[in-house]
Amino acid sequence: MEYLTILGSTGSIGVSTLDVVARHPQRFGVVALTARSQVDLLYQQCCRFEPLYAVLLDEDAAEGLQARLLAAGASTLVLSGTSALEKVAALPEAGIVVAAIVGIAGLRATLSAARAGKKILLANKESLVTAGALFMSAVHDSGATLLPIDSEHNAIFQSMPPSSAGSLAERGVRRILLTASGGPFRTLSPARLAAVTPEEAVAHPNWVMGRKISVDSATMMNKGLEVIEAHWLFAAPPDVIEVVIHPQSVVHSLVEYCDGSVIAQLGNPDMRTPIAHALGYPQRIASGADFLDLARVGSLSFEAPDHSRFPCLRLAYDALRTGDSTVVGLNAANEVAVAEFLDRRIAYTDIPVVIEQVLEMTPARAVDSIEDVERIDRDARDLALAACAGLGAGRSARAG
Pick from 184, 121, 177: which is nearest to 152 by CA? 177
Question: Residue 400: what pLDDT?
Answer: 47
In percent, the amount of the chain with pLDDT more than 90 equals 84
Banded pLDDT at 293 (limits 50, 70, 90): very high
Which pLDDT does position 103 carry in this prediction? 80
Based on the fold, state whether residues 23 and 141 are members of the same structural domain.
yes
135 & 181 share domain: no
Task: Tell me the angle at which helices 311-322 and 221-233 cross, rounded to the nearest 10 degrees.
Answer: 30
Query: What does the pLDDT average to over 159-187?
Result: 91
- Are 226 and 261 in the same domain? yes
Q: Which of residues 87, 118, 148 is at a domain's end?
A: 148
Q: Whole-angstrom Cα distance, residue 272 to residue 261?
A: 28
Which has the closest alpha carbon to 55: 72, 40, 68, 42?
Answer: 42
**pLDDT score, position 102:** 83
Reported confidence tier of residue 163, pLDDT bands at 50, 70, 90: confident
Whether 143 and 167 map to the same domain: the answer is no
- The count of other CB atoms within 10 Å of the CB of residue 174 is 15
Same domain, residue pair 138 and 183: no
Structural domain that includes position 370: 323-399
* Helix residue spans in the chain (DSSP H): 12-22, 39-49, 59-71, 82-89, 107-115, 125-142, 151-159, 190-193, 198-201, 211-219, 221-233, 272-280, 294-297, 311-322, 325-342, 350-361, 370-399
Q: Per the structure, how many domains does the chain have?
A: 3
The amino acid present at 165, given as its one-letter code, is: A
- 274-278 contacts: CB < 8 A, separation 24 or more? 274/148, 274/149, 274/150, 274/151, 274/154, 274/155, 275/13, 275/16, 275/17, 275/20, 275/98, 275/121, 275/149, 276/20, 277/149, 277/154, 277/158, 278/121, 278/147, 278/148, 278/149, 278/154
Q: Which of 4, 1, 33 is nearest to 275 (CA)?
A: 4
Per-residue burial over 387-399, b if 16 or more Cβ lie within 10 Å, else e, is bbeebbeeeeeee
Q: Are residues 227 and 343 in the same domain?
A: no
CB proximity list for 41: less than 8 A, separation 6 or greater: 10, 15, 35
Contact criterion met (CB below 8 Å) for 7 and 98? yes
Name the least confident of 93-107, 108-122, 144-158, 186-200: 186-200
We report the CATH number of the domain holding residue 42 as 3.40.50.720
State the first-to-last Cα distance of the chain, in angstroms, to the nearest integer: 64
Residues 12 and 115 occupy one common structural domain: yes
- Residue 244: which pLDDT band, with cuts at 50, 70 and 90? very high
151-170 average pLDDT score: 92
Work out the pLDDT band at 395, boundaries 50, 70, 90: low
Overall average pLDDT of the 22-32 stretch: 98
Question: Phi-psi category of 242—alpha, beta or left, where left has phi over 0 and alpha has psi -120 to 50?
Answer: beta
**Residue 329 in domain:** yes
Shared domain for 169 and 143, answered yes or no, is no
DSSP β-bridge partners for residue 131: none
Lowest mean pLDDT among 184-193, 313-322, 365-374, 391-400: 391-400
